Structure 1
Amino acid sequence: MKLRWDILRNYFVEIGIYLCAFLFVYAAVSKLLDFETFETQLGQSPLLSAYAKPVAIGVPLLELLISLLLVFKRTKRIALYGFFAMMVLFTTYIVIILNFTDFVPCSCGGVLEALGWTEHLIFNVCFIILALFALLFEKKQNDSRIMSFKKPKTFIISILSVFIGGVMSVSTLYLLSEKEIQRNNSFLRRYPPHPVTTIKGLNIKYNSYYIAGFAEGRIYLGNSSAPAHTLSVDTTLANVKTHKIELDNTQQITFFSPQIRIQSPYFFLIDGSVPVIFKGKLSDWKARLSWQGDNNFTFSQMESVSSTQFVFRSIDNKSSQNVIGRIDFDNSDTFRVSNKLLQKQIDGIFDTDGMLRYNSELNRLIYVYYYRNKFVTADTDLDIDYQGRTIDTVKNAVIRIASSNSDQVRRLAEQPLIVNHQSYSAGKYLFIKSDRLGKYEPEEILKDASIVDVYNLENHTYEFSFYLYDYKREKIKSFQIYNNILIGLSEHHVVLYRLQPLNFELKK
């Protein structure tokens, strides 16, 4: 009876060892045959992004080495411990993915490619148990046992040491990877599965439209070629209306580049080159002059904070640098400028060029630089409360300036490196569109989509990124967020994308 048990035990050990070896050989070969995809998947993992390159190389090599050692009797013992340790590492990775990361990436990996993460976990646990039994029953040559039944404590301590070591190793890599992403600007993006889905698009024929704002479930589009005409559409893109502004321009003001801003129940027609602000109601589209500035003062950007308050970007006459200012009709200090918000690196004009935005939910203005990995948030009194960096690595603007007419006229000598193309802030998030690829990202993706990075303005962290796919072969040139809908504008279409509630905490 004992002999039969020994034979069965030996068969079990041999079959178990060959199964372990086959699993690792198959997994390693699968990874190596499609190494670029494997490395990319690790690079976009929420757990090991910062160490994708060494992990991508090391894991299949270790799997092959362990498989080889499992074949030889003299190395079976150490190889089984190695297999057990690797499976503990893989299982810990899955547990952290499922319970401690912000999102669960797509499932992948050789023989397990068709399995979900929960099935991965069950599969791994089964092989951990198999390895434990194989270690328990395996004998070395010359009657040397892997585990002596006279010394069970030694075996238990060895197994626990390997198990705890594996768990601690992956947990440490996870914490270090998070630090690398959040603090060290390693330019590693992570992509949760399908946080944004395309709803539908509407052909608006002309490429001169821009997003003016939102009010009562409608999207308003201004037209730079026909400033008096505005287009509005509901969020189903089914009900389209046109509006014509009736302007009470008794002052005979000549406009240069007027734009529309919506602040329900009002609309504003603004022109920073004059500069003026006309105000009207959405109910009748009649506007009259609300404010006119000094002819020596002009502004290049303006955002409405409320029906009586605006923030703008202008050039300071004394310093000849970009500054941020505020106009508040209800405040005794109606006009205010701050030269502390924008940080000069080269000339104070081109190097501080960027996008001025206002977040009504946080009551914060945000300025995102075009040519460097930086943005600034401030309150409406123009006091800075946070200076953040994006995950890009370009800290200093890469621009070259040419001067003429005795340095009175300055211009860009060549097209500068644009780090941040577009931006918008809604809820607690800052959305930044960037065409610069991070590590492990395929260049081909930019042919069909744009990349949008999401930052949390409350926690001061990078959250994740998503692809904003082209619509009818047209790229999204600008976008804004209305509740849980992203409104994108391409050359000839307005396109709606849904922001999924699993990934975004936004109004519906």
Structure 2
Amino acid sequence: MRFTDLLSKYIFSVISYFYILLFSYAAVSKLLDFENFRIQLGQSPLVSAHAGVLSFAVPIAELLIAGGLIFKHTRFISFLMGYLLMVMFSSYIYFILHYSSFVPCSCGGILEKMGWQEHLAFNIIVTLLGGIAIVTERYRRVSGLKNVKWGILLLVLIVLTAFGILSVGILFRSSESLIHKRNPFVRQFIPFSAHEQNRATLDFNSYYLAGADSLTVYLGNYTAPRYVTALDTSLIISTSFLIDIPKEISFHRSAKLSVVPPQFFLIDGHEPIVLRGRTAKWKIVEKYSPDVFFSKSAVLDSVHLMIRTRNEANGESVLAKLSLEDNAVTYYPHILERQLDGVFDTDGDLLYQSDSGTLFYLYRYRNQFITTTSEVTTNRHHTIDTNTRAKLTFATLEEKGQKKFAVPPLIVNKSVALYKNLVFVLSMQRGRFQSLKMWRATSTIDVYDRDTGVYYSSFYLYHIDHTSIRDFMVREDRLYAIAGSALVSYKLEEAITKHYH
């Protein structure tokens, strides 16, 4: 046997054993920790929308290649498929490093200790070894270099390389479109997009966020509605105020504070009563007694509220504009849409953005939010949750004539915050490929564009003293959240704030 024949056989055998070992290990490690592998693909910025299919396809392909390399008759085609797969793996890492919105955590197994650059270099070397094995195998089959059809072999390798790169590119583009426009409830978590900066311990767990300006965060208290706590944005300096209410004004303890600097409001839709004052003195200067009861309110200006009240014609919930000066009420029955009873199924959060003149409503039991900037135009957008209809079961108490929930309702969206064009939704539902461990230990915030409904990304906020977030708001690059008896400020990184406009 010629030396060249012996050398080619030795090279081919070494690469074959290496490929068998590599692909076998890769496939088995994925299958043994399948759920974690599936979650990692689900969090990939490139292929998250296709994680369900790829989580099965990749280890199966690796096993088939490893098995095919064992047998003589399937060895050559298996090397071709192995080469293609390595081209795809290398392309995937290249796209991650150069075109992805963020770089995720590395994969598991023995390669977990590698950085992405090292992983790319390793994959390129393995790809080149596959190419060398293909050439040496072809050389051995045709018995000599002069019999090798180099043009055809080179064309095959070029086609495989181009196909591998193009396939990953197509997966990337289609996944991007699905995630941001037609999301199948796959969250895209950007690492370190929000991290804790400061924390203040509150005396009670009855505080809520009442408003903010560029320098101050204002807290109200459900059990002591006359008391206001003001903290600087670093949550270090705290000042308390007692709202001065004239004795002739009857005051109900269920009133809620809303601070819209330089004014503040104490609003109780069950009384109903609206008290207004200025933050400079924290003294009530005006009292309004609306003729309509309401369950939600948002301050439009000093003399107008948007409210959620009852439609007298059918008893269903309806949004309306309330003029405090003359008690005039203008109803907008086209905004809230009935699914079951028109009351419970339309429950949600009502907000108003004065800078853009946008009225916003987020449903609690279905995956939809509504924006309107006029009395006519209403835009409806969906959150990535797939619950398009409220899942509610009712029971009627015949003696009292009351309707209540027969079973606990499925809450889709717990709370919401707005800042500029971004919508921050505190979701109550676990997404596909989302780690159960992380889901139980954190609160999940999903970020959308207010005007287009495009989903951008999500981020975790860890529970504070094993307590989830119950209230939060966003101002500039800060997110303020209350959990238990703690107020925490988080810094939002550029991955989130770059979407402001």
> Does TM-score exceed 0.5, indicating one fold?
yes
**Alpha-carbon distance between aligned partners in 1 of 2:401 and 2:31, rounded to the nearest angstrom:** 60
Which of 334, 352, 374 pairs up with 1:358? 352
Q: Tell me the CA shift for residue 266 of structure 1.
A: 1.5
**Which amino acid is the alignment partner of residue 264 of structure 1?**
P
**Alpha-carbon distance between aligned partners in 1 of 2:146 and 2:267, rounded to the nearest angstrom:** 86
Q: Which is worse superposed, 95-104 or 78-87? A: 95-104
**Alpha-carbon distance between aligned partners in 1 of 2:347 and 2:388, rounded to the nearest angstrom:** 14
**Alpha-carbon distance between aligned partners in 2 of 1:359 and 1:468, rounded to the nearest angstrom:** 25
Secondary structure at the counterpart of residue 87 of structure 2: helix
Secondary structure at the counterpart of residue 464 of structure 2: coil
Secondary structure at the counterpart of residue 345 of structure 1: coil
Match of 1:285 in 2: 282
**Alpha-carbon distance between aligned partners in 1 of 2:499 and 2:354, rounded to the nearest angstrom:** 13
Q: Tell me the CA shift for residue 334 of structure 1.
A: 6.2
Q: Tell me the CA shift for residue 427 of structure 1.
A: 2.5
**Alpha-carbon distance between aligned partners in 2 of 1:141 and 1:261, rounded to the nearest angstrom:** 82
**Alpha-carbon distance between aligned partners in 2 of 1:100 and 1:461, rounded to the nearest angstrom:** 19
**Alpha-carbon distance between aligned partners in 1 of 2:347 and 2:76, rounded to the nearest angstrom:** 64
Higher RCO, Cα 8 Å, sep 6+: 2
1:464 aligns with 2:457: yes
**Alpha-carbon distance between aligned partners in 1 of 2:146 and 2:358, rounded to the nearest angstrom:** 68
Compared with structure 1, are the counterparts of its residues 227 and 53 closer, same or farther at alpha carbon in structure 2 (3 Å cutoff)? same
- Per-residue deviation, residues 243-267 of structure 1 (Å, max 9, x unmatched): 01112364x3342521111111121
Match of 2:477 in 1: 484
1:376 aligns with 2:370: yes
1:484–1:506 CA contact under 8 A, matched in 2? no
Compared with structure 1, are the counterparts of its residues 216 and 455 closer, same or farther at alpha carbon in structure 2 (3 Å cutoff)? closer
In the TM superposition, what are the counterparts of 1:64-75 in structure 2 within 5 Å? 64-75=63-74
Which of 335, 340, 349 pairs up with 2:334? 340
Match of 1:474 in 2: 467
**Alpha-carbon distance between aligned partners in 1 of 2:436 and 2:183, rounded to the nearest angstrom:** 20
**Alpha-carbon distance between aligned partners in 2 of 1:355 and 1:124, rounded to the nearest angstrom:** 50
- Per-residue deviation, residues 318-368 of structure 1 (Å, max 9, x unmatched): 2311111224679x9964221111110111101101111223454322111
Compared with structure 1, are the counterparts of its residues 424 and 476 closer, same or farther at alpha carbon in structure 2 (3 Å cutoff)? same
1:271 aligns with 2:264: no
Q: Which runs of 5+ in 2 are unaligned?
A: none
Match of 2:152 in 1: 154
CA RMSD of aligned residues (A): 2.7
**Alpha-carbon distance between aligned partners in 1 of 2:469 and 2:74, rounded to the nearest angstrom:** 59
Match of 2:257 in 1: 260
Secondary structure at the counterpart of residue 299 of structure 1: coil
Match of 2:60 in 1: 61
Which of 416, 427, 439 pairs up with 2:432? 439
Q: Which is worse superposed, 21-30 or 415-424? A: 21-30
Compared with structure 1, are the counterparts of its residues 110 and 362 closer, same or farther at alpha carbon in structure 2 (3 Å cutoff)? farther
Compared with structure 1, are the counterparts of its residues 30 and 402 closer, same or farther at alpha carbon in structure 2 (3 Å cutoff)? closer
**Alpha-carbon distance between aligned partners in 2 of 1:161 and 1:407, rounded to the nearest angstrom:** 76
**Which amino acid is the alignment partner of residue 443 of structure 2?**
S
Match of 2:26 in 1: 27
Compared with structure 1, are the counterparts of its residues 485 and 364 closer, same or farther at alpha carbon in structure 2 (3 Å cutoff)? same
**Alpha-carbon distance between aligned partners in 1 of 2:141 and 2:315, rounded to the nearest angstrom:** 87
1:429–1:455 CA contact under 8 A, matched in 2? yes
Q: Which runs of 5+ in 1 are unaligned?
A: none
**Which amino acid is the alignment partner of residue 278 of structure 1?**
L
- Per-residue deviation, residues 383-408 of structure 1 (Å, max 9, x unmatched): 34421111111111111233356996
Q: Tell me the CA shift for residue 10 of structure 1.
A: 4.1
Secondary structure at the counterpart of residue 344 of structure 2: coil
Which of 382, 399, 405 pairs up with 1:389? 382
**Which amino acid is the alignment partner of residue 232 of structure 1?**
A
- Per-residue deviation, residues 449-497 of structure 1 (Å, max 9, x unmatched): 1222111224421122221111122221111112211111112111122
In the TM superposition, what are the counterparts of 1:62-211 in structure 2 within 5 Å? 62-139=61-138, 143=142, 151-211=149-209
With the length of structure 1 as denominator, give the TM-score of the two structures.
0.90
% identical equivalent positions: 33
Compared with structure 1, are the counterparts of its residues 143 and 149 closer, same or farther at alpha carbon in structure 2 (3 Å cutoff)? closer
Compared with structure 1, are the counterparts of its residues 372 and 163 closer, same or farther at alpha carbon in structure 2 (3 Å cutoff)? same
**Alpha-carbon distance between aligned partners in 2 of 1:309 and 1:126, rounded to the nearest angstrom:** 68
Q: Tell me the CA shift for residue 226 of structure 1.
A: 1.0
In the TM superposition, what are the counterparts of 1:224-239 in structure 2 within 5 Å? 224-239=222-237
**Alpha-carbon distance between aligned partners in 2 of 1:264 and 1:56, rounded to the nearest angstrom:** 52
Q: Tell me the CA shift for residue 58 of structure 1.
A: 2.1
2:255–2:268 CA contact under 8 A, matched in 1? yes
**Which amino acid is the alignment partner of residue 83 of structure 1?**
G
Secondary structure at the counterpart of residue 103 of structure 1: coil
- Per-residue deviation, residues 417-467 of structure 1 (Å, max 9, x unmatched): 111111111122211112221222333334321222111224421122221
Which of 318, 322, 326 pairs up with 1:323? 318
**Which amino acid is the alignment partner of residue 117 of structure 1?**
W
- Per-residue deviation, residues 74-121 of structure 1 (Å, max 9, x unmatched): 333212111110011112222332333332221114232112222222
**Which amino acid is the alignment partner of residue 160 of structure 1?**
I
Which of 242, 245, 248 pairs up with 2:246? 248
**Which amino acid is the alignment partner of residue 317 of structure 1?**
E
- Per-residue deviation, residues 209-235 of structure 1 (Å, max 9, x unmatched): 111001241111111111111111112
**Alpha-carbon distance between aligned partners in 2 of 1:95 and 1:377, rounded to the nearest angstrom:** 39
Secondary structure at the counterpart of residue 351 of structure 1: helix
Compared with structure 1, are the counterparts of its residues 156 and 500 closer, same or farther at alpha carbon in structure 2 (3 Å cutoff)? same
With the length of structure 2 as denominator, give the TM-score of the two structures.
0.92
1:92–1:167 CA contact under 8 A, matched in 2? yes
2:304–2:324 CA contact under 8 A, matched in 1? yes
**Alpha-carbon distance between aligned partners in 2 of 1:11 and 1:246, rounded to the nearest angstrom:** 92
Compared with structure 1, are the counterparts of its residues 172 and 505 closer, same or farther at alpha carbon in structure 2 (3 Å cutoff)? closer
1:448–1:470 CA contact under 8 A, matched in 2? yes
2:351–2:361 CA contact under 8 A, matched in 1? yes
- Per-residue deviation, residues 26-54 of structure 1 (Å, max 9, x unmatched): 22222122122111111222222233233
Q: Which is worse superposed, 385-394 or 165-174? A: 165-174
Q: Which is worse superposed, 102-111 or 390-399? A: 102-111
**Alpha-carbon distance between aligned partners in 1 of 2:194 and 2:93, rounded to the nearest angstrom:** 24
1:27–1:109 CA contact under 8 A, matched in 2? no
